[in-house]
Structure 1
Amino acid sequence: MAKEELIEMEGIVEEVLPDTRFRVKLNNGHEISAYASGKMKKHRIRVLAGDRVTVEMSPYDLSKGRVRFRHKEERPHVPASNNSSYNGRR
């Protein structure tokens, strides 16, 4: 099957399952079972519950998919407390 035939959608990871599988709720409300793509496994990209992801699905089986991309969420930077009495030793 050519890559042009794949359906690409975005969703939120609802649950992390064993063996790099995930339960993903798509933006249209459907829930699918998805697995991490090979490059995500190779580069050890962690996907956690609540992450926004892009999923590829075959038009022949819309209940399964492959997580192709994990979107980076803008998280506020929290500076470490500046405790001058701490010198790294206990």
Structure 2
Amino acid sequence: MEKKDMVEIEGIVTRTHPAGFFRVLLDNQETILASISGNIRQKSIRILVGDRVKVELHICDLTRGRIIHRFRKAKS
């Protein structure tokens, strides 16, 4: 897949599933099923419910995606 066929959008993790899958509520109020990218898996970055993430979607299937970045939470 080429990079031009991908769309990046932000959202919030709402639910976890086994084997590294997550339900993500996107900023446009759509819910998708997203998996973890290899880079996040390799660096053992934990993703929890409520985390803000950046998801990469392919233009052919906008219901499934790949989590490519987890944003840090603001310190209170």
TM-score, normalised via structure 2 length: 0.96
What's the CA shift for 1:45?
0.3
Unmatched runs of 5 consecutive residues or more in structure 2:
none
2:23 alignment counterpart: 23
User: Are positions 1:10 and 2:13 aligned together?
Assistant: no
- Say which SS state the counterpart of residue 40 (structure 2) adopts: helix
More helix by share: 2
Q: Larger relative CO (CA 8 A, sep 6+): 1 or 2?
A: 2
Unmatched runs of 5 consecutive residues or more in structure 1:
77-90
Q: Deviations over 1:38-87 (max 9, x none)?
A: 011011000000000000000000000000000001122xxxxxxxxxxx
Q: What's the % identity of the aligned pairs? A: 41
RMSD: 0.7
What's the CA shift for 1:16?
1.1
Q: Which amino acid in 2 is paired with 1:57?
A: L
Structure 1 stretches (4+) deviating beyond 6 angstroms?
A: none
**How many residue pairs align between the two structures?**
76
TM-score, normalised via structure 1 length: 0.82
